Structure 1
């Protein structure tokens, strides 16, 4: 019995002399919404031992917003002071917090905290500072609205580009030079059929007049494709769009072509070649006719 008492006294004395003491203190257990609270943790008789705990700003649970977390460690003491706030009403608990001293686990005591809303219904809320009216300059407005302005400018630029492309496409399709070149290619195809060399004057004049009618219709906007030769010649003379020299070429070739189709004349190769060359000349000079017409009408 005596030996047992001596052993207990020895253990208590060893614990008193060689063990560390962990203590904690909470400054208040009732807080207003957002009011700071302070939790202090102290370890004494540390004897230069290592202390491990949760990292800074991560010691307290989720609802506790840590404002400041400071740690001070000396040879024989360890202090950690945490300033926190809670932004929800209700009751919350700071649980027992773990600290390891040279691998040995020790815990703080838990604390219950009540958070209340001190604002009363009907309380007048005053701003800390009165609102100030700030005068904005051009640079300020530019910084605020520059992306909207740039977006509008880009959109307008795209609309303008699309409009010009459509306009250019239409102009290109109706350009007199385009129609002239196309008709010259058709005349070259006719030449390669060797109607002149073979003396096939009827086929030659039929196709030559068809090409020319189609050209006059599109280039001069005269319905040559549906008019009889005499009517077409009368309209050309009244229209004044085609120059007199070109009028003479058209009149001579169309009248001769009609006589050939009805077997009233039989042209030789030289006549056919001359008419072909004259028609090419007319087609090439047509753009000049249109330029003069545009200047005359102011289009």
Structure 2
């Protein structure tokens, strides 16, 4: 009998220790609720700082609906850590329901939580105290055919704007043009522009920088048109070298003293423009006289093999070509402006706020989706449109690609479109240990967010948590908001993003999803995509 009591006591002790060592602690804040009321399910896991815990994300636990999945709370107690995950659950039918045992991934092992019983009671309505109301009258449905007249009005307005744009174009084209100065030769142009420079009174207003800039530009333009060297694009040193070479090649016979004076003027101009130097008045006057002498010296030294009338004819042809280019550019600007007006009208009348250059998030969400596999190890994912392959070599630094055996990238949309998707997969040249996988995921997320900063992201708010798929593979997720500077609109757009990284032995899989903050259908697309994610395991 004594032995029997000892066995019973030992059995109870083992059972007690078993319960005490349960890895996942389960609790509910209420076992009885009314229909539609929320109760909270809490799961707790104890571990260390290095412990990786992944709680499931689902819309339903058994027959109970998940109203809200709260972020994981981490509480430090002495040397240990406590990971707490809360779910808000409900049920809209009365009855007795069981919260099933929920799988939780701790490290590389899966553990189950305890089940719980919830009673859902009907809401009792006292018809004696509750005031009754009459049935609402029938509401007439608006006739959708009336939209036809709005479309017709839009077409008429668009046609009217197009006609107005054409009329303005014809009127502008036929207007008498302002008289343009046609110079007989480059030397006449240079001397005339130097005289005009003096009339601007830049020195009287203390604008020495503009004075020297225009003076040297006139000289460089003259040299470019006569000596035929790229004077406007060259630095001072490059211009002087080119001038010396051209002088020897064309046997122009310009003296060394002239070249030294020209070098001194160009360097004075550089000091004024870049070092904020201010020469004395007599130095400025001397530079102005010398620059005119240099231009006349170059003109006299030019080779005379070509007849003067031929030179003048070539110069006139160049001037006429410049005029034609200006007219063509002006006509192009008028045409583009008319087209922009038409696009704006279409955007405001027809699209009612959707993207002009792509589908709105509502259209993307409602259209037929495509499920495809991308990369190696493969990522199976459902998206509104097929993702397009990108050249990974152009996207990443060479140092990064040197560590990889293979990398593939796929993309839909852009950072400033209504929705943006990127999927990338990588295989490393050397396999990684399980202990290295978790730090690698955090570094992958950190590197991805730095890439966003390089592309213009600012004020990035980052929250991180674990993420797991239906086939048992876990990863890390970073999510939050960031400001993206739109180069077209010249304003900052607030964007919500979710960035997920999965690590396997020898492989890395990443998904980036982004849409404008507050976009209802953008959020729905993100949830639908993440629910569809499946991963191929990396080949060993």
Do the structures match in fold with TM over 0.5? no
From the two aligned structures, give the one with the greater helix fraction. Answer: 1
Determine which structure has greater relative contact order: mean sequence separation of CA pairs < 8 Å that are 6+ residues apart, divided by chain length. 1
TM-score (norm 2): 0.21
TM-score (norm 1): 0.37
From the two aligned structures, give the one with the greater strand fraction. Answer: 2
Larger Rg: 1
